[in-house]
Structure 1
Amino acid sequence: MITCIAVDDEPLALRQVVSYIEQTPFLQLSAKFTNASLVKEYLKTNAIDLMFLDINMPDLSGMELAKSLKNPPKIIFTTAYSDYAIESYKVNAVDYLLKPIEYNDFLSASTKAEDFIKKDTLLKTEIKKTGDYLFIKSGQKHIRINFNDIEYLESQKEYVCIHLVNRAPVKTLIRLKNIEEVLPQENFMRIHRSFIVNLNHIITVERNRIIYSDKRFIVVSDTYIDQFKEFISNNFFS
């Protein structure tokens, strides 16, 4: 069963989405909201799989909410406007439904989300953590990787490329958020939707960029910049 929430400031539109959720056997409604700001607080203490999210809402828009979440659930946007379609895929939305929404389109988008969630669950089982290292599956091999040898991790669609110190990168079929859950939080920080860095291997920071070499650098995204600046101020002399 996929747990989900519905978010829309228009009561009629919210009732329609809730009705569609109730008609869909593999979906279970956990909560509904007319205010996106309340969703952030709810997600701090409640784990859900999927969010049906309206874009145009007062105070905090659905797009702003999606960008502000560090580990968002799967998202299906619901809106009366087509202008945000490209932007929605930049935040890895599963689908984008235009109002008025037909149930067939709702079911198709929900089924797509179900496939993604099932794949996430299967991929998560590939990580084996023990002490200060983990084993990951790469092709037909199971490879031991010491946490201290990891320079940074890069999401590449359904794969994660683990960049290592003095070793060739290792690529594994897994989601970045799944591997993030087993990394030591005191040593690793997500600084972009697609990157997690080992704080122990940061040597040079220029503005909002972590410099590894003349050709390799990572830009810290706006979503994570405050947390990263706090780390810099606590560990670097100004």
Structure 2
Amino acid sequence: MIKCIAVDDEPLALKQISSYIERTPFLDLQASFDNAMDALQFITENKIDLIYLDIQMPDLNGIEMAKSLSNGPQIIFTTAYSEYAIDGFKVNAIDYILKPLDYASFFKASLKAQSFLERNTAFSENLQANSNHLFIKSEYKIIRIEIGDILYIEGMREYVRIHLANAKPLMTLLSMKKIEEKLPSASFMRVHRSYIVNLQKISTIERNRIIFNDVYIPISDQYKEKFQSFIDNNFLI
């Protein structure tokens, strides 16, 4: 099921789009909102796959809301003005539906979203890795990362941020468990609920913290024994 929300400041339009979601078998309506600010708050606290989003709204319009969502849910815009289509695709919206809404147009756009999300899920589940590199999806691009360039990986709810030695960090929609399974265990170790480190890149450890440049990564009690075993096996006396 695709978890989705509807956002529209027009009560009748919001009621209609919500009813369309509820009658579509592969959609699961989590909530509906008459303003963007409440919707953004809900998204930060809940996992949402898809937003049916009106464009013309007071305070924060749909385009502005979409731009504020970094690697967030997919978007289908609902609008009475076709000229907004170009703006919609600039923020990587899957589709847009012109008002007045009809179910045929809604269903066609929703099928498009379903196909995109299924491909995205399949890609994540089949994250390719070997001893030298892995592929991730970040900002609508597939990027190859050399495993040896990874310093550490930081968990952020449904996302992970991959910190690299000589490049900007990359965000991807992936769980810590999934990426941990794909990395070579001889080189990578989880030292905290939110951190996986490249053991080959560790140069300084201080008071149960691993230091990468100016970043201090804590070693939690849950992983301390395993990490200490690694240190003992590589300690010269």
1:145 aligns with 2:145: no
1:108 aligns with 2:108: yes
Structure-2 separation of matches of 1:165 and 1:18: 44
What amino acid maps onto 2:92 in structure 1?
Answer: N
Match of 2:169 in 1: 189
Match of 2:5 in 1: 5
CA 1:106–1:35 in structure 2 vs 1: closer, same or farther (change >3 Å)?
same
Match of 1:173 in 2: none
Which of 116, 130, 143 lines up with 1:161 in the alignment? Answer: 143
Tell me the TM-score normalised to structure 2 length: 0.60
* 1:165-176 mapped onto 2 (5 Å cutoff): none
Segments ≥4 residues shifted beyond 6 Å: none
- How far does residue 155 in structure 1 lie from its aligned partner after superposition? 5.6
- Give deviations 1:98-127, integer Å, cap 9, x for gaps: 000110010000011001111111100123
What amino acid maps onto 2:20 in structure 1?
Answer: Y
Match of 1:83 in 2: 83
Match of 2:48 in 1: 48
Structure-1 separation of matches of 2:5 and 2:139: 28
Answer yes or no: is the 8 Å Cα contact 2:50–2:74 preserved in 1. yes
What amino acid maps onto 1:118 in structure 2?
Answer: E
Structure-1 separation of matches of 2:97 and 2:145: 37
CA 1:13–1:154 in structure 2 vs 1: closer, same or farther (change >3 Å)?
closer
Structure-2 separation of matches of 1:57 and 1:4: 19
Answer yes or no: is the 8 Å Cα contact 2:3–2:48 preserved in 1. yes
- Give deviations 1:181-234, integer Å, cap 9, x for gaps: 34446975359xxxxxxxxxxxxxxxxxxxxxxxxxxxxxxxxxxxxxxxxxx9
Aligned-pair Cα RMSD in Å: 3.1
CA 1:68–1:183 in structure 2 vs 1: closer, same or farther (change >3 Å)?
closer
Structure-1 separation of matches of 2:55 and 2:75: 11
What amino acid maps onto 1:55 in structure 2?
Answer: I
Match of 2:96 in 1: 96
- How far does residue 67 in structure 1 lie from its aligned partner after superposition? 0.3
Match of 1:36 in 2: 36
* 1:10-21 mapped onto 2 (5 Å cutoff): 10-21=10-21
CA 1:114–1:99 in structure 2 vs 1: closer, same or farther (change >3 Å)?
same
Structure-2 separation of matches of 1:156 and 1:72: 10
Match of 2:71 in 1: 71
Larger Rg: 2
- Structure 1 regions of 5+ residues with no counterpart? 128-135, 168-179, 192-233
Structure-2 separation of matches of 1:2 and 1:165: 32
Tell me the TM-score normalised to structure 1 length: 0.60
Task: Tell me the SS of whatever aligns to 1:84.
Answer: helix
Task: Tell me the SS of whatever aligns to 1:83.
Answer: helix
Structure-1 separation of matches of 2:71 and 2:30: 18
What amino acid maps onto 2:159 in structure 1?
Answer: E
Task: Tell me the SS of whatever aligns to 2:72.
Answer: coil
Structure-1 separation of matches of 2:73 and 2:147: 32
- How far does residue 154 in structure 1 lie from its aligned partner after superposition? 8.4
Structure-1 separation of matches of 2:126 and 2:109: 27
What amino acid maps onto 1:36 in structure 2?
Answer: A
What amino acid maps onto 2:125 in structure 1?
Answer: T
Structure-2 separation of matches of 1:61 and 1:103: 24
